[in-house]
Amino acid sequence: MDFELRSDYIPLCDLLKYCGVTETGGMAKMLISEGMVEVDGEVELRKTAKIRAGQVVTGDGFAIRVH
């Protein structure tokens, strides 16, 4: 799926919640802390990592391209 960024960045946990990967921010943080989310092919463990335009966030069953 594609996500249209409207500011400089979005925290990773918020991106997962807004895109419907998880139902809540808490669930998103748990998914990240368990090493289940990658940013540009690298496992990302920082829950509030700044995701910027051009990055791709992936995990089990989802891929989000940020524009």
Is residue 52 within 8 A of residue 5, CB to CB? The reply is yes
Map out the domains of the chain with their CATH numbers. 2-66 (3.10.290.10)
Output the pLDDT for position 58.
Answer: 98
pTM for this prediction: 0.94
Q: How far is CA 22 from CA 8, 39, in A?
A: 23, 16
The residues of the chain scoring below 50 in pLDDT are none
The identity of residue 18, as a single letter, is Y
For the chain, the first-to-last Cα distance in angstroms comes to 11
CA distance 54 to 31: 22
Both tokens of 30, joined, read 């748990």
